[in-house]
Amino acid sequence: MADGPDPEATPGSAPDAPAVAIRVTRTGGIAGIRRGWRVESGEPDGWAGLVDACPWDEGAVPDGADRFTWCIEVHAPEPERRAEVPETAMRGPWRELVERVRDEGEPVRARRGGADA
């Protein structure tokens, strides 16, 4: 029996769900190593504007072999969103969001499909 909530569980609509839940997974590169980070917080300040600034509806074309691809998943604030962003499109708000998740979040073991293990 677990002593507390599963830290790897996907946030839901439970009353104690975090106000911010964002996961970033980087795949590809020459070695093909996957790396992931996540941030969960009860404080939405500064996150909602950054999430909204990202061009979620713009499709990006993968840009070749041996390049990184970033899977960005926002579970909160709503609405839930997911995008796969190639390395060459990782600029502006995308880069700001990824860097902030990496700086303020924690590393996670990434599994195939962009989700955390």
List the domain boundaries for the chain: 20-108
Query: Is the peptide bond between 11 and the residue preceding it cis, with omega within 30 degrees of 0?
Result: no
Number of CB atoms found within 10 A of residue 18's CB: 17
24-38, 59-73, 79-93: range with highest mean pLDDT:
79-93
* Contacts with 6 (C-beta within 8 Å, 6 or more apart), sequence order: none
Number of CB atoms found within 10 A of residue 52's CB: 12
Write down the pLDDT at residue 37.
97
How many percent of the chain have pLDDT more than 70?
75
| Average pLDDT for 23-31 | 88
Number of CB atoms found within 10 A of residue 27's CB: 19
Q: Which tokens is 13 given?
A: 């609509």
How many percent of the chain have pLDDT more than 90?
49
CA 53 to chain centre: 15
SS3 (DSSP) at 92 = coil
Task: Dump pLDDT digits (tens) for 75-100.
Answer: 998 899 999 999 989 999 999 999 99
* CA pseudo-torsion sign 15, 81, 29, 90: negative
Q: Would you place residue 35 in the very low, low, confident or very high pLDDT band (cuts 50, 70, 90)?
A: very high
Residue type, 51: V
